């Protein structure tokens, strides 16, 4: 009987059979195996394997070479059916208990399903015990480390943050201090971790060190940190009793709040993203990103309605472009405005105390900065958060769901649902093409489709993508805040790309057209989702963003 293979990626890449290591010596075979194992039991596209194996500089016959590498890897592993070939790529079949990554994720999920904090902490500690070092530390691939390993690091950070949250919630602030000091040393500019360290020190009767920790961060930043941490610092200086562990709500006076907007309209072409967003949501934070008008809010609201039965203690919603979340949520949870002091740190502590032991879903719509999100993240393992943002919010530890343009078929389906009829014509095909797969543009255009001259107006003027008197149905107005927030250099680069009619390009092509440094500008445009980074040094500009820059750029 052939012994089963065991795989590890949360440290060195290792394969063992019966306790003996199976040697995978060829560098590119190791990259290939690592790419498959970080997405176990999932199809990995050939194009992704090519990108990771050759770091964005593949040979002309790369697809054939990958096929050869797979054949050789199969022979080395000696297990029939382990690596499956499918039309679009390859899939490795691994039982959950035979890969450290799947064991880790299962334990994290189990901890999120627990209402008992002590059990959750125990499960998370067992999960983190699967890690033996930096993921895939002996695998040579810059692209693999930039994307997949960075994602694994984020999962490790999230699990550690949950351990810290739960231990603070359960009054074990003294016990968690060594871990917190280590995490802060590793990420000294992480304001959430710094705040957890400060509150733990304060609750452990070490006010002086809590103040010193704040001063250390301020010195490293060369200025003041965000408003939440500044409020916490002021509260510690005043030794406010409200910063001590807040009491859980009286179950006799609790009533669920439901603030979710209605899920209006059909959600078309987002089945995969919806499944990703709603799977194992409890105890986690999910971030939906993408360009303006791509349907982030619609996806988040549909997802929230789909899972609200799993959160019987309430569903909270805030549009962060209109109001601050904490005062709105505290009012929904039964507090009167006169009962809430102005101190923001008090708001956050009281809010987390009210959610302790509860199963509540929180939706934060249209976040523009991480400072809007961090004070609202609950500490209760039964709660979950969905955040939408046109920005990447790179400092936020979250499961990320990025929305792209709809396919032509999905675009046609969306238009049909708005018109409540099927219409196939040359004019309709051109209308769909002009909307470039953006759901907001498609809905606006479909509402005007009965006007025979509309396609001509849309072809000539992007302002045709608007409904008079409806600010939310005005595509140029929706794009405008993203453009206005850009630095002058980023605007210049975007305008230059638009005028050059670039759609798919490399950084050096942009550098040849502008005199300013292009890397920071391209990074800012990607962070704002006005550009898409399709490879390490390759970018894509959508036709709608290009038309906006041509029409309204300055």
Give the separation between CA 392 and CA 400, rounded to whole angstroms: 9
Is it the case that residue 253 has pLDDT exceeding 70?
no
- The answer to whether 148 and 48 are in contact (CB under 8 A) is no
- Residue 204 has a pLDDT of 86
Binning pLDDT at 50, 70 and 90, where does residue 292 land? very high
* Mean per-residue pLDDT over the chain, rounded: 88
- Give the rounded percent of residues in the chain with a pLDDT score beyond 70: 95
Q: Which of 130, 119, 133, 120 is nearest to 97 (CA)?
A: 130
Is it the case that residue 251 has pLDDT exceeding 50?
no
Is it the case that residue 178 has pLDDT exceeding 60?
yes
- Residue 1 has a pLDDT of 42
The mean pLDDT of 494-501, rounded to a whole number, is 93
Give the separation between CA 400 and CA 284, rounded to whole angstroms: 11
As a whole number of Å, the CA-based R_g of the chain is 25
Please write the tens of the pLDDT for every residue from 392-406.
Answer: 998 888 899 999 999
CA 513 from chain centre, in angstroms, equals 33
Q: Which of 421, 477, 475 is nearest to 445 (CA)?
A: 475
Range with the poorest average pLDDT among 9-13, 77-81, 548-552: 77-81
- The answer to whether 50 and 141 are in contact (CB under 8 A) is no
User: In the block, which residue shows the tokens 């052939």?
Assistant: 2
- Other C-beta atoms closer than 10 Å to the C-beta of 420 total 7
Binning pLDDT at 50, 70 and 90, where does residue 358 land? confident
C-alpha triplet 226, 229, 231: angle, nearest 5°: 105
Q: Which of 33, 7, 31, 9 is nearest to 21 (CA)?
A: 7
- Residue 191 has a pLDDT of 85
- Residue 254 has a pLDDT of 57
Give the separation between CA 369 and CA 393, rounded to whole angstroms: 6
- Other C-beta atoms closer than 10 Å to the C-beta of 382 total 23
Please write the tens of the pLDDT for every residue from 202-250.
Answer: 988 899 999 999 999 999 999 888 887 888 898 899 887 767 754 444 4
- What are the tokens at 252? 């006799």
The mean pLDDT of 447-476, rounded to a whole number, is 84
- Residue 255 has a pLDDT of 58
pTM beyond 0.75, yes or no: no
Give the separation between CA 135 and CA 9, rounded to whole angstroms: 6
CA atoms within 13 A on the CB side of 196: 33
* Residues contacting residue 313 through CB under 8 Å, at least 6 positions apart: 254, 256, 358, 359, 360, 382
* Residues contacting residue 172 through CB under 8 Å, at least 6 positions apart: none
SS3 333: coil
- Give the rounded percent of residues in the chain with a pLDDT score beyond 90: 50
Is it the case that residue 3 has pLDDT exceeding 80?
no
């Amino acid at each position: 009987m052939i012994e089963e293979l065991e795989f590890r990626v949360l440290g060195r890449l290792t394969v063992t059979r019966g306790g003996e290591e199976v040697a995978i010596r060829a560098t590119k075979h190791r990259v290939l195996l690592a790419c498959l194992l970080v997405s176990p039991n999932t199809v990995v596209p050939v194009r992704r394997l090519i990108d990771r194996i050759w770091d964005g500089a593949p040979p002309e016959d790369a697809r054939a070479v990958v096929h050869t590498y797979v054949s050789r890897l199969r022979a080395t592993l000696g297990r029939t059916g382990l690596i499956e070939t499918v039309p679009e790529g390859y899939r490795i079949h691994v039982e959950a208990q035979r890969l450290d990554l799947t064991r880790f994720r299962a334990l994290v999920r189990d901890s999120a399903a627990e209402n008992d904090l002590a059990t959750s902490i125990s499960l998370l500690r067992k999960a983190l015990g699967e890690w033996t070092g930096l993921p895939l530390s002996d695998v040579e691939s810059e692209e693999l480390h930039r994307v997949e390993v960075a994602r694994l690091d984020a999962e490790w950070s999230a699990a550690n943050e949950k351990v810290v949250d739960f231990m603070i919630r359960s009054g074990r602030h003294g016990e968690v201090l060594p871990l917190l000091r280590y995490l802060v040393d590793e990420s000294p500019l992480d304001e959430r971790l710094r705040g957890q360290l400060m509150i733990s020190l304060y609750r452990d009767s070490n006010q002086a060190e809590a103040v010193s920790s704040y001063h250390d961060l301020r010195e490293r930043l060369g200025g003041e940190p965000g408003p939440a941490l500044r409020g916490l610092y002021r509260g510690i200086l005043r030794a406010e009793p409200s910063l001590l562990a807040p009491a859980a709500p009286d179950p006799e006076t609790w009533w669920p709040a439901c603030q979710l907007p209605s899920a209006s309209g059909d959600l078309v072409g987002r089945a995969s993203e919806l499944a990703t967003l709603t799977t194992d949501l409890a105890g986690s934070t999910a971030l939906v990103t993408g360009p303006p008008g791509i349907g982030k809010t619609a996806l988040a609201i549909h997802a929230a309605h789909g899972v609200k039965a799993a959160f019987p203690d309430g569903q909270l919603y805030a549009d962060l472009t209109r109001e601050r979340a904490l005062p709105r949520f505290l009012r929904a949870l039964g507090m009167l405005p006169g009962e809430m002091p102005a101190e923001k740190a008090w708001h956050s502590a009281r809010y987390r105390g009210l959610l302790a032991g509860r199963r509540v879903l929180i939706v934060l719509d249209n976040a523009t900065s991480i400072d809007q999100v961090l004070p609202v993240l609950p500490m209760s393992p039964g709660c979950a958060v969905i955040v939408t943002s046109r920005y990447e919010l790179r400092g936020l530890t979250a499961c990320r769901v990025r929305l792209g343009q709809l396919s032509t078929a999905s675009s046609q389906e969306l238009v049909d649902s708005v018109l409540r009829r099927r219409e196939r014509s040359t004019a309709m095909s051109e209308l769909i093409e002009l909307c470039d797969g953006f759901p907001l543009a498609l809905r606006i255009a479909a509402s005007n489709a009965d006007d025979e001259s509309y396609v001509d107006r849309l072809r000539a003027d992007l302002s045709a993508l608007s409904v008079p008197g409806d600010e939310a149905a005005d595509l140029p107005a929706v794009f405008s805040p993203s453009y206005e927030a850009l630095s002058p250099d980023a605007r210049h680069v975007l305008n230059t790309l638009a005028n050059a009619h670039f759609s798919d390009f490399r950084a050096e092509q942009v550098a040849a057209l502008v005199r300013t440094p292009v890397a920071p500008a391209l990074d800012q445009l990607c962070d704002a989702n006005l550009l898409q980074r399709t490879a390490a040094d390759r970018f894509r500009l959508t036709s709608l963003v290009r038309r906006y820059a041509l029409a309204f750029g300055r």
